[in-house]
Structure 1
């Protein structure tokens, strides 16, 4: 492993533990639907991450005026992305599954959000690490024929401070565009011996300016089903 990655695993994973089988977390925060939108919407969400399936399910309730809400159900399972949008959790508004752009975007998200499930970033979980410098390294994950890579940046103490890719698909104006994508993590805490960031935010670079579109806090997190030997 590159030195900053080894420091990261030593920092966030307890000695003597095994692979994390499942993570369930509750989030709350704010999001906006496009990088240039001036309107922020509040959300509450439950996210489940299952590393063995290279998968996550994000079930969010986004609040709108007059007591109305929109339900968003995003997922990525074994490299297949899916997204569903419904009004009041009942009336379908939009749905998409399995397109190349959605599959790639969802796998990028899975890799970035693995900071909340650190054993998903281990080589034995399928991630290949390539050294960049003493404070950054490139993580590559391949599922079937789909491969994505993210630059992880680390603090002096070994925690992930940010992630970056020069090209993740964003759906803007009804079509997909590849834009630079960046995320930041902070406020590290410990649960079940695992150190994780309680705060995260992500955004797109538009006209060379980072536009944050999602920012959230982890209200609670549960690590379940440790299994198999842990190899750092």
Structure 2
């Protein structure tokens, strides 16, 4: 009995130490992400919208106010549901995420009762790590497919900090019709895009693109956005759903809801 207790205690101590080490590493990576970016002193003006597609102009006038400072750093938390594949059950997930805008980058950590997932786009490289109980690695994705997918994630999630969607030397909007427009972004030789759909309230309600599904080929990917509220002086969606449109049918795999979002706070959340 004593030997069993000693073994269990040792195992628990190792697990605790491993989780503490992983948490410290993640916090260090967030600090490095923020320190490697820049702060812009730009201020949004309605005059910047001249020449943009009509629904895009209406969107920015709806979600931003004239004189809104550009958002440089973002940190947020979310709750929600996640599904690991077709036929799988929905499971609860909670996450925290950190973004830089002047230099494209983000770090996300999502935790369930059984696994921890980390997505990132840093210095032009994207990747995905998944570990069992936050300790034992089971997935480590790298390469050009992940660079494309994670840059798309950074760009799409800019709806949470919409000054990042204003046109610049790397970002442009192209007209489609009165309810849709094409968003194109380039970074370090990689170009990605979204077909963006707007509703009658001038909100972005859907993003559609072709995205690599892990190491497989390109598939149609959608983000559906809803429940807009004003926070930090900006109208943003608080609910988002991620969907793959596959030959065998539609796979909805993530349904997140914002719980906390803060702008220009370049610190890691305290546990």
Q: Given the two structures, how large is their TM-score scaled by the length of structure 1?
A: 0.87
Give the deviation of 1:208 after TM superposition.
Answer: 6.7
Which of 33, 58, 61 is the aligned partner of 1:10? 61
Distance 1:77 1:128 in 2: 22
> Is 2:257 the counterpart of 1:217?
yes
3-state SS in 2 of match to 1:9? helix
Which of 98, 103, 108 is the aligned partner of 1:53? 103
Give the deviation of 1:186 after TM superposition.
Answer: 0.5
Please identify the structure whose Cα radius of gyration is greater: 2
Which of 149, 165, 175 is the aligned partner of 2:193? 149
Distance 2:131 2:196 in 1: 34
Which of 25, 28, 34 is the aligned partner of 2:76? 25
Distance 1:3 1:43 in 2: 37
Match of 2:225 in 1: 185
Kindly tell me the number of residue pairs found equivalent between the two proteins. 215
Of 4-13 and 119-128, more deviation after overlay is shown by: 119-128
Distance 1:90 1:20 in 2: 34
Distance 1:79 1:215 in 2: 27
As a proportion of its length, which structure holds more helix? Answer: 2
Distance 1:218 1:41 in 2: 17
Match of 1:168 in 2: 211
Give the deviation of 1:108 after TM superposition.
Answer: 1.2
Distance 1:78 1:123 in 2: 21
Give the deviation of 1:78 after TM superposition.
Answer: 3.8
Higher relative contact order, structure no. (Cα contacts within 8 Å, ≥ 6 residues apart): 1
Match of 2:133 in 1: 88
Which runs of 5 or more residues in structure 2 are unaligned? 1-51, 266-271
Match of 2:124 in 1: 79
Say what the alpha-carbon RMSD is for the aligned residues: 1.7
